[in-house]
Every structure is written in C-alpha cells, then in structure tokens.
Amino acid sequence: MDEFFMKLAIEEAKKAEQLGEVPIGAVIVKNNEVIASAHNLRETTKNAVTHAELLAIEKACEAVGSWRLEETTLYATLEPCPMCSGAILLSRIDRVVYGAVDPKAGCAGTLMNLLDDSRFNHRCDVVSGVLAGECGMLLTTFFRNLRQRKKEQKQKMKE
Ligand SMILES: [Zn+2]
C-alpha cells in the first residue's frame, strides 16, 4: 500500500519538474483515500515555504475542516525538512512515509529526527526508503540537467 501512494507522490514530483521546480511531491491519505496532494512550488510562488508537504498539509486541513490531521499518513518523495517536520507535528499527522533521504536538510532521521522525539507532545511513526531509488533518481536527473543547462549557457556567452 505504501508503494501505491508513494507512486502518487512521485507523480506530483513530476508535475513540479515540468514547472522547472525541484521535483518533490507529497500526498496525504486518510482511510486509504487521498485527501490532499501537492508538489514543490518554491520558484513559481517565489515563496520559501511552499514545499510539497506544507502545501499538502494546508489542502488536507481544508479537506477535513480541521487543523488536526489525526489518522492520516503523509507520503513525501524526499525526507521532510525542519519546517515541514514542524508542520507535520503541529497538524498531528500519525504516520510519515518518505522515499529518498536528504543529507542536507532531512529532519526525519538523517540530521535529526523531529518526528519521533519524546520531548514533543506528538510523535509520528516514520517509514523511510519507500521507492527511494525512483524518488532520488528524479532529483539526481533534475540537478544533472540543470548543471548541463548552466554549462551550455556559459558556453554560449563565450561564443
Ligand atoms: Zn520542507
């Protein structure tokens, strides 16, 4: 089941990619039903907080008519950053499933684990590495293409 919903998150990530955004997607599921899906929109909105997970949380709150997202699972293609991990705690999401680890910002087990710390009044079950290869490959390919484009641009300027 986790792989099924992660595939939907990957579809969201691909939507971001088509917009020239870093390909990261998220979906929130309640009772085996998707109640929200979103992708990273940081460049489009020119807004630092418009991460996939945060946007999905906003949509899910709207969908359930409450700030509490109990009994939900959030699927994200990349390990949540500190901001999104904070929002996950505050919205009382029960379970978080993510694909690729983020060695530079991951706060769901890599740099620290904000989602499972007994000092907070809420803890999540965390599952990592679901379709990690596919999730990570999207990012690797995106950044490789970006570097290639930049290189080509530089080359053109010289000509
Ligand atoms: Zn984030």
Near ion ligand 1, which residues have CB within 5 Å? 51, 81, 83-84
Q: How far is CA 45 from CA 49, 73, 82, 100, in A?
A: 9, 26, 20, 24
Going from the Cα of 80 to the center of ligand 1, the distance in angstroms, rounded, reads: 5
Q: What is the mean pLDDT of residues 44-62?
A: 98
Distance separating the N- and C-terminal Cα atoms of the chain: 53
What's this model's pTM, rounded to 2 decimal places?
0.95
Could you write out the DSSP letters of every residue in 101-155? --TTT-TBTTS-BTTS-TTSS---EEEE-TTHHHHHHHHHHHHHHHHHHHHHHHH
To the question of whether residue 122 is assigned a binding role by annotation, the answer is: no
Going from the Cα of 86 to the center of ligand 1, the distance in angstroms, rounded, reads: 9
**Catalytic choice (12, 17, 53, 79):** 53
* Res. 157: pLDDT tops 90: no
Q: How does pLDDT run across 125-146, given as a tens digit for each residue?
A: 999 999 999 999 999 999 999 9
Q: How does pLDDT run across 56-81, given as a tens digit for each residue?
A: 999 999 999 999 999 999 999 999 99
Domains defined along the chain, listed by start: 1-157 (3.40.140.10)
To the question of whether residue 51 is assigned a binding role by annotation, the answer is: yes
Active site residue 53: yes
